[in-house]
Amino acid sequence: MKRGGTISNQELLAWPIFAISAGVLSLQHLLEDGRKSIAALFMPGDIIDMRGLTGRNRGQLIALSKITLCRLSPAAFEATVEDNPEAQRIAWNNLRGQTYRAMDHAADLAKKQAVEKLASFLFECTNRKLDQGPRDQVHIPIRRIDLADYLGMQPETVSRCFKYLEDRKIIAFQGISNLNILDIPTLRRIANGDKQTENLRNTNDNTFKAIANT
């Protein structure tokens, strides 16, 4: 699928289960006034089971990049997990991980300030890496405008949050979509809402307060 492609309700009726091999798929909600929110991101390795959701107000499945997916019929999926204990373990762990991420994301949107939400997202990216590369190397798999919709803030705020972390040498960019985490403990404290991290700002620098209140 190309970026912007949508999986229709008709397709979900026939093929409600699929696995992401490459790219990022989103679950989006669009309000009448044009406001958009991204409720979930599905990345390589994720298994998505949409059985029973067709016709409900579940939003739309829209590709945020060029994606490759493997579609499964319910019969094929059930036969696989029934006959293969390892496949069953992988499938349940995958779906359980999606549930945990949904709960964490809901808490982030409800309670955290802007820079705290971005810090949490960076750790989400490292935790979802399929390879065994260095954990301090992060690839941002989506555009900043989509990241803003996922985190519930404006694109300009996302850019200010990145700059705040970069100026304080907590992260360092290696291109547009790749960065290194230079100070994992401090980034973790920010992600966890440690108010003492406000002391990181320079004297007479209200950047953190401005970002936090956006």
Per-residue pLDDT of the chain (214 residues; tens, 9 = 90+): 999 999 888 888 888 899 999 999 999 988 778 778 899 999 999 999 988 765 555 688 999 999 999 998 899 899 989 999 999 999 999 999 999 999 999 999 998 999 999 999 999 999 888 776 788 899 999 999 999 999 999 999 999 999 999 999 999 999 989 999 999 999 999 999 886 766 665 434 555 555 655 5
Domains 1-111 and 113-214 share a fold: no
Q: Which pLDDT score is estimated for 200?
A: 62
Please, are residues 162 and 118 in contact by the beta-carbon 8 Å criterion? yes
Angle, vertex CA 201, rays to CA 198 and CA 206, nearest 5: 90
Q: Which residues pair with 17 in a beta bridge?
A: 49, 72
Q: Which pLDDT score is estimated for 203?
A: 39
Q: Which pLDDT score is estimated for 52?
A: 74
Domain ranges of the chain: 1-111, 113-214
pTM of the shown model:
0.85
Angle, vertex CA 189, rays to CA 186 and CA 190, nearest 5: 90
Q: What does the block give as tokens for 50?
A: 């949409």
Q: Which residues pair with 41 in a beta bridge?
A: 26
For the residues of the chain, what is the DSSP string, one character each? --TT-EE-HHHHHH--EEEEEES-EEEEEE-TTS-EEEEEEE-TT-EEE-TT-TTSS--EEEESS--EEEEE-HHHHHHHHHH-HHHHHHHHHHHHHHHHHHHHHHHHHHH--HHHHHHHHHHHHHHT-SS---TTEEE--S-HHHHHHHHTS-HHHHHHHHHHHHHTTSEEESSSSEEEES-HHHHHHHHTT-GGGGGGSPTT--HHHHHHT-
Tell me which fold the domain 113-214 belongs to: Arc Repressor Mutant, subunit A (1.10.10)
Closest CA to 111 of 212, 16, 14, 21: 212
Q: Which pLDDT score is estimated for 104?
A: 92
211 vs 214: CA distance, rounded Å: 5
Q: What does the block give as tokens for 38?
A: 């991204």
Please, are residues 171 and 179 in contact by the beta-carbon 8 Å criterion? yes
Q: Can you identify the CATH homologous superfamily of domain 1-111? A: Jelly Rolls (2.60.120.10)
Please, are residues 38 and 150 in contact by the beta-carbon 8 Å criterion? yes
